[in-house]
Structure 1
């Protein structure tokens, strides 16, 4: 019940989706020890059990995110979103009410607040743990015509959040919500404690659950949740963050299933900031083929989400860099239906079906084996680091000095 395959197959338990987010990171960090993810039907009858046995016996074949259902076995795919169409520049998403922005004083929250104020939203409530806005922000938003309230609130604290919502003036009722709160605490799975997992999941997941509860019965017309690319495809070193974002993606789907408004946007890094704004993080992502998003473009996508879009992942990807790093250590069918990926995959070295390294070396004269081995190591290192080719990897430099 952690995932849905669409149609009448409703998602049952969004909390379990966190396991899927964690698993996507395990596939990247420990590819030789990770089997994959299988979601079972609520009733595991003989037919479903046979299908599960078939999945396990098949050895994957690149399928490592699978849902077993009464109607068959389904593999997960990332597909191109259908453009929702441009939102008119004069459109006001909340002409007579309040919009609450959690994480509203962070880099992304500030950009969203500027956009909302510029569209004529009359009242903005910006929350953060410290409740301190960047210098000049309140004056800037007021100059655009918006009343601004900045509040210190940990969204994981339901009572504190309820107090904030109760304080919204009756003449401008709460009608829109942007959940952009979140923290990161990066580290590999082997060093991930339960405390570090909880600390990252609390503002993102507990915050959304609390928003769901405290806005019950209010005239909220739209709720947009800021999720992350890490939860969609995985991100090495971000197991807790991927788990949290996969969980909120599922919670949004579950909320819609109850007839309530909600949409999730899983962002890649924004060019002007966000939790991936640090130089080291941005450089690591860029090296792996993930480029920072243009802010104006991101805000156009945000507008489409507010107007009633579908859940999307939004990222600027250099596929020639991204795909080798994503698939070099472990085959995956997740990206198989993207045409850009199909253009890259034929150029990649053959996977497990080709000759092994021992076979390659046995077919080479003794005097050339060292060079062949060196070429293989350099090519694999280049793929992992996101370089265009083996020539970028100097053979006499230590792996750590190269960026591992």
Structure 2
């Protein structure tokens, strides 16, 4: 029979096709959007045919039921390898329905159509993702799409149908959905706890999984130390990984980052925070020093994407002990802006006289009946005199009177403030 491979001309699909032929498959149907015109399709066909296989590449939108039915019409499909997928990473708050829909379609919709269209196949292999099992920053839509594949495999298994869902981690197989990888990408993957899977390791894991009986597996290595200290530890690893150690809970004798910051003169604090932001950004991007991270250059221009942005958020959160939003880098797009935000979180500005008086006003306004009629009368007289003086002082000063108003408010006594509140509450 014929082996059907979706995404057959992509890096992972082509690797799978070559491996299937090496295992003895002799009739392959490779589906892709680009078909024979896809980059590398001609070379792949020549290679497969030279190895003794009959292979054909067909252009097909696998999310379209009619197009998919037409592509397989007249063929005896005995095996399905659903490799195709689309990435559109972004933190959840930036995802639109269209962005979610496109990612779901390539994985989930296509898998459902294959399940319905080819009920009698002997092998039904789905290339899922570790994002569905462990979660990967910035891939909420992709995680949901692949969780569907895992569920579909279990559904088929309970019905006695062949099924295998493989929750792959990141691959190192050249250009593909993840693009060409740099050394910095490989180092970052290793730090994340999900080292890259090479072609040889991946195909060996594929064979082992297909020889087993489990409908859903996570092939590959997981380095649990990469998950230590994360704000959220994946459910599957909670028995193996320690929870986060916040900077606020530093061991005895160890001064936290915030403590060291507060000990500095006010004029030196901003520089300390900025240098730490630059250092952490350089570490995330794989730069040897922080010199390459200019303080006023946007993170996007430096090479940050949604995944590295979340990694920077995690690193800064671990250092500072502050719970930071996933959109931190998007909300504060330069190292300087981000450092300013962190500095305000770690060492809030001390309230001035006006802030303290305003707090008193708020408290009295919230409880207008706290004053007796006699107190209200006395305070009203006092405030009336104060207001008259403020009005006289304002005349001839700056046009909007803001400077004198601020100065008088700072000098006002508590009795002055009480009288002001009393007057406001009783005015019609």
Match among 23, 27, 38 for residue 123 of structure 1:
27
The alpha carbon displacement at 1:123 in A equals 0.7
Q: Which moved more, 1:304-313 or 1:189-198?
A: 304-313
8 Å CA contact 1:165, 1:215 repeated in 2: no
Residue 56 of structure 2: aligned partner: 149
8 Å CA contact 2:279, 2:289 repeated in 1: no
Query: Where is the helix percentage greater, Structure 1 or Structure 2?
Result: 2
Give the 5 Å matches for 1:2-401. 97-132=1-36, 134-168=41-75, 173-216=76-119, 218=120, 220-273=121-174, 274-279=176-181, 282=185, 285-286=189-190, 288-310=192-214, 311-320=216-225, 322-324=226-228, 327-330=229-232, 334-338=236-240, 341=241, 349-350=245-246, 366-367=263-264, 374=272, 378=276, 382=280, 398=295, 400=299
Pair 377,164 (structure 1): closer, same or farther in 2 beyond 3 Å: same
8 Å CA contact 2:6, 2:30 repeated in 1: yes
Please give the alpha-carbon distance, in whole angstroms, between the structure 1 residues aligned to 2:262 and 2:31: 68
The alpha carbon displacement at 1:395 in A equals 12
Residue 373 of structure 2: aligned partner: none
TM value normalised by structure 2 = 0.58
SS in 2 for 1:260: coil
The alpha carbon displacement at 1:377 in A equals 9.0
Q: Gaps (5+ residues) in structure 2?
A: 310-428
The alpha carbon displacement at 1:374 in A equals 4.9
8 Å CA contact 1:175, 1:222 repeated in 2: yes
8 Å CA contact 1:328, 1:384 repeated in 2: no
Please give the alpha-carbon distance, in whole angstroms, between the structure 2 residues aligned to 1:306 and 1:395: 47
Larger Rg: 2
Pair 337,166 (structure 1): closer, same or farther in 2 beyond 3 Å: same
The alpha carbon displacement at 1:207 in A equals 0.5
User: Over the residues paired in the alignment, what is the CA RMSD in angstroms?
Assistant: 3.9
Q: How big is each residue's C-alpha offset from its partner over 1:187-237, in whole Å with a ceiling of 9 and x where there is no partner? A: 222221101111111110010000010012x2x111110011222222222
Matched length: 290
Pair 99,367 (structure 1): closer, same or farther in 2 beyond 3 Å: closer
Q: Gaps (5+ residues) in structure 1?
A: 1-96
Residue 94 of structure 1: aligned partner: none
TM value normalised by structure 1 = 0.61
Pair 237,350 (structure 1): closer, same or farther in 2 beyond 3 Å: closer
SS in 2 for 1:148: strand
Please give the alpha-carbon distance, in whole angstroms, between the structure 2 residues aligned to 1:181 and 1:267: 13
8 Å CA contact 1:271, 1:295 repeated in 2: yes
